[in-house]
Amino acid sequence: MLHLSIPIHFLPMNISRRSFLQTTGLALGWAAPRAFAAEATLIESIEKTVIPTPAVKGGTWFHPRACLAGKKAFMTLQPITGSDYFGPVHWTTSEDLGKTWSEFQPAPPLGWVPEGEGSEAVCDVTPEYHPKTGSVLALGQNVFYKAKTPGFKGEQPARWPMYAVWKDGTWGSRQKLVWDDPRGGQIYSNNCGQRVMMPNGDVMMSFTFGVKDKPRAVCGVRCSFDGQQLLIQETGPELTNPVGRGLLEPSLTHFQNRFYLTIRAEDNHGYVAESQDGLHYEPKQPWAWDDGEPLTMSTTQQHWLTHSDALFLVYTRKDATNLKVMRWRAPLWIAQLDTKTLRLIRSTERVVLPLIGDGVNQGDLVPMMGNFGIANMSANESWVTDGSWCPKAGNSGELQLARVRWSKANQLVTSA
């Protein structure tokens, strides 16, 4: 039986390489369709499975994100019982590539602790395996809840990244990632973000940050990590957007000697930028199809699925089938990136996790997705994990796992 610990309430010359390629199209454009067609066949199949879970009173499981830790799958997740109202972070492992899972257990350092007249919790956790130290770095952010009634504190105190290290079945202490920069005086975070573990042990990531009543910016971040302590060593110039809350929830990947950043925004776009060093980025550009037509997105995160031979984006967007779904947060889609133009190849798009229900006539009863994770689990299989959530149906949902199977081995994965 699963025992849960959940609170009752709960290029110089002023032109970049990217701009040059988009403007000229290059004389090599004729060869692209054949190359893209070949790469698109990398995805042999996508299979949705549902992970059995213990019941959560008044809610469901959310924020499931996994990583390959040695030869086992490691996943963090937490209950949700209302908008941005999360129970303590839990963890589980699988020894058989996700067919069965161990008992969901609370992660003690990532639970609720008293704070003023309320509680400080941790949410938006992403675990990543750190090969050099053989440990899992679980990084999220703090969040503050009311004391007497269930709910998210409307006026949040300053917020920052919180992390804990898991190794050989044991958790380390709860720690704050310190950044003494006034630009992050109200918030700085890598919440829900993908990171890159470098061969020398450094951790590359990105921050969304800002001060009160001002739009947030994003910057690249390089950290050192010794298996116990995460320390910021360097940050890069900022990317900005003046609309709404600015730029949010950046996710990073590394593909064929370049860093790629995808960013949530609040202007009906998502954004992409690239960098040679993960710190200094070329100008961001809105997500668009290879013919230049922009994708319509609504303040929802995107993440990378990285194969050694091609780079893919997983995302939500507006579509004829989801017009009445809040922020078009179902289904989840995947498409391949054209790394020359930073545009998505429309012919490669397919559904990763399907919309459940009627997104046109009964959109409020469609379980929403979008707070998901991605992990390469073997040379032949990658995962997209998502906790769907439907507030109008008693905060119900499914713990979903999409198995993306490859037709060609992913050389980025060395463990079986």
pLDDT at 23 over 80: no
What's the rounded Cα separation, in Å, for the pair 58 and 191? Answer: 25
**What's the DSSP call for residue 102?**
P
pLDDT tens for each residue of 133-167: 999 999 999 999 998 788 888 789 999 999 999 99
What was the pLDDT predicted at 8?
37
pLDDT at 16 over 90: no
pTM of the full structure: 0.91
**CA-to-CA dists, residue 251 to 129, 173, 191, 301, 359, angstroms:** 16, 25, 9, 8, 28
Least confident of 71-75, 112-116, 240-244: 112-116
Strand partners, 324: none
Mean pLDDT for the stretch of residues 287-316? 97
Mean pLDDT for the stretch of residues 382-411? 97
What was the pLDDT predicted at 280?
98
Least confident of 52-66, 145-159, 276-290, 332-346: 145-159
pLDDT tens for each residue of 107-122: 999 999 999 889 999 9
Confidence band for 34, pLDDT divided at 50, 70 and 90: very low
State percent of the chain over pLDDT 90. Answer: 86
Closest by CA to 313, choosing from 404, 199, 213, 239, is 404
What's the rounded Cα separation, in Å, for the pair 54 and 6? Answer: 12
pLDDT at 36 over 70: no
What's the rounded Cα separation, in Å, for the pair 318 and 269? Answer: 11
Q: What is the mean pLDDT of the chain?
A: 91
What was the pLDDT predicted at 415?
57
pLDDT tens for each residue of 342-352: 999 999 999 99
**CA-to-CA dists, residue 188 to 124, 203, 283, 349, angstroms:** 13, 17, 21, 33
Q: What angle do CA 338, 275, 318 make, to 5 degrees?
A: 45
Least confident of 10-24, 149-163, 188-202, 289-303: 10-24
